[in-house]
Structure 1
Amino acid sequence: MKILIVKTTSMGDVVHAVPVIADIRKHFPEAKIDWLAEDVFADIPRLTKGVDEVLVCSVRKWKKSLLNSETRKQISALKSALRQKKYDLVIDLQGLIKSAVLASWTHAPVAGYDRSSIKEPLASFFYHSKFSVSRQLSAVERCRSLAALALGYEIPSDAPQFLFQFTEQKSEAPFVVFYCNTSRETKLWPEDYWIELGRIISERGYRILLPWGSEAEKSRVERISQGIGSTSCVLPRMSIGELMNKTSGAKAVVGLDTGMTHLSSAMGIPTVGIFRDYPIELVPLMGEAKKKALGGVGSCPSIEKVAEAFEEVLS
């Protein structure tokens, strides 16, 4: 059987879909499983055991230059590649019009959420098989449920498995990674809170590493690093794969409700998540290591609470 998983974006959403691979492998060990993802997030399925091939799209870039000849050439090439794969089933775990259109380019049967379950109801018109999945389930369980319904198996009773395979990087000095940046201002934690937390953790003998992904994010972590002092370090800009390898050696991660925080927890690193504008129960931290999520909609966890949670996940 040849299966294509469509889960293109964003980073957290891609991470939440990863356990589907282990579920499918358990029931169809000989299946060929491919994954279609946005180019910037493609490292996540590439570093997931059980994914045979990752196909890449660039919808975010394409939308800005639809009339450009290079854009049309890339779209045509992807359409051709998807058709040539001759998939037996495509599972659209995204549930958006853009993902449904991408899935339709395969010319294969497509399974997805029904109108009552999906994010964008119009997308369901592209599906050959439609399934009802409660929107009250967590993001991970929604993905697992849809894949199980589409392929006709029972969801495994064990915990979700994130089968990442990365090159762990050891460091002589123990370090903690702070993920201080996110795509929405409403998710941010005050910079002076990060500085004080960094000082507290530094006193425990840890070095603080600060990643970033844009110039605005770089400026933010530079200010935080300056406030913490010499025990902190602003990392160079890295790809997701490079960050996965770097973060794999961390003693712990403290981060906002952002993709790299969820990814770190799923990788099995002790993680503290700071939530400010989204229900924790819908996007819980997953993974085998200790983890603690604080906050929620309209919340701003205190420095003391986050510091206590840090001690808890390391205990």
Structure 2
Amino acid sequence: MRILLIKTSSLGDLIHTFPAISDAVTQMPNIVFDWVVEESFTEIPTWHPSVHTVIPIAMRRWRNSLLSISLKHEVSLCVQQIRKQNYDLIIDAQGLIKSALFTYLAKGNSVGLDWHSAREPLASMLYKQCHVVPHNLHAVERIRQLFAKALKYTIPKTPAKYGLQLPFALTNGISNNLVRKDHTPYLVFIPATTWPSKHWPVLYWVNLIKMATSYNYQVFIPWYSPKEQQLAESILNQAQAGTILPRQSLTDLAKWLVNAAGVVGVDTGLVHIASALEVPVISLYGPTSSKLTGTLGVAQRILNANFPCAPCRRKVCNYHLQSVVQPACFNDITPILVWNSLQKLIKY
């Protein structure tokens, strides 16, 4: 049985989809998936052994190049690739109008969330079959339910299993002499994300690095954009310890994560990857809620802000009263609390 999966972005949302694929494979061993995904995330679906073909799209880039001469040709080639195969089923796990359009264009019986369940209700009008999935479930469980209803099986009662398989050897770290040859354990700290309000205070990161290095851990910070690089360099310069990683692919970053003794990070995609890889993870949530889209894994703990206006779900903090740190909602998620929580996970 061949399924076309439509789930184009974002990084965390893609990771949330893997348990549903693992469920389906457990119930239907001969099932295989093709996956339509944003071009910047094409590595990610390949981490699951039951994903056969990855079909890249470029909605984010296309929106910024509507006047490009090559745009029409590029979109046409993409549609041809989507329509090349006759699928037994097409599942839109995104529930947006843009994802529903690709579902509609593909050849086969299309399935998605109904009017009351989809994030953008109009998307449901483009499916041949619609299913009700409650909004008050974690994203992982919502997708698991959608798959189970679409493929007509009962969700396993076991906890969600991501089922990721990727080369675990950290060859790039060894060749660059970043990892000590005596195999000293290391930690990965992930301070950067798109929303300024999600940033744990720089002073807290500095103090956490000092605690970690005092226990003889190496500390590494990854980055992607120039702003993330600047943030990492600022933290490490103030801490006078730790190492910034070179910019690299998501697969290479995943190798760093899976080989780490532990990971600490804010609400961002790399932290979801670490949780899926069953690495000890401390996730820091301030302006956003972890209830429906938080990290989910067997070896992780979420620290939620306990603050009057949290979670505010604002990209920029607008709390104007006096506070020791900014964003103010992180005040009580102190470095010592994070460190003690991480140590318990590592020892466990």
Q: Scaled by the length of structure 2, what TM-score is found? A: 0.87
1:64 maps onto 2:48 in alignment: no
* 8 Å Cα contact 1:40-1:240 kept in structure 2: no
Which residue number in structure 2 is paired with residue 131 of structure 1? 131
Distance between the aligned counterparts of 1:52 and 1:270, measured in 2? 30
Which residue number in structure 1 is paired with residue 334 of structure 2? 302
Which residue number in structure 2 is paired with residue 35 of structure 1? 35
Percent identity for Structure 1 against Structure 2: 32
Mapping of 1:1-315 within 5 angstroms? 1-170=1-170, 171=179, 172-230=183-241, 232-288=242-298, 290-296=299-305, 297-298=310-311, 299-300=329-330, 301-315=333-347
* 8 Å Cα contact 2:112-2:127 kept in structure 1: yes
Cα deviation, 1:204-242, whole Å, max 9, x if unaligned, reads 111110111101110000001112223x11111112111
- Which moved further from structure 2: 167-176 or 89-98? 167-176
Q: CA deviation at 1:267?
A: 0.5
Structure 1 residues not aligned, in runs of 5+: none
* 8 Å Cα contact 2:282-2:338 kept in structure 1: yes
Distance between the aligned counterparts of 1:307 and 1:245, measured in 2? 23
Distance between the aligned counterparts of 1:190 and 1:137, measured in 2? 30
Q: CA deviation at 1:177?
A: 0.5
Q: Scaled by the length of structure 1, what TM-score is found? A: 0.96
Q: Highest Rg: 1 or 2?
A: 2
Distance between the aligned counterparts of 1:32 and 1:311, measured in 2? 40
Distance between the aligned counterparts of 2:84 and 2:168, measured in 1? 36
Q: CA deviation at 1:168?
A: 1.6
Cα deviation, 1:188-213, whole Å, max 9, x if unaligned, reads 11111111111111111111101111
- Runs of 4 or more, structure 1, over 6 Å off, are none
Q: CA deviation at 1:109?
A: 1.9
Cα deviation, 1:7-61, whole Å, max 9, x if unaligned, reads 1100000000111111111122112211111111121111112111111111100
Distance between the aligned counterparts of 1:183 and 1:87, measured in 2? 36
Distance between the aligned counterparts of 2:215 and 2:168, measured in 1? 23
Distance between the aligned counterparts of 1:151 and 1:67, measured in 2? 41
Q: Which amino acid aligns with 2:52?
A: D
Cα deviation, 1:79-136, whole Å, max 9, x if unaligned, reads 1111111112111111111111122221322111111111111111111111111110
Which residue number in structure 1 is paired with residue 316 of structure 2? none
Q: Which amino acid aligns with 2:231?
A: R
Distance between the aligned counterparts of 1:169 and 1:34, measured in 2? 27
Distance between the aligned counterparts of 2:223 and 2:191, measured in 1? 8
Q: Which amino acid aligns with 2:145?
A: S
Distance between the aligned counterparts of 1:152 and 1:189, measured in 2? 43
Q: Which amino acid aligns with 1:193?
A: Y
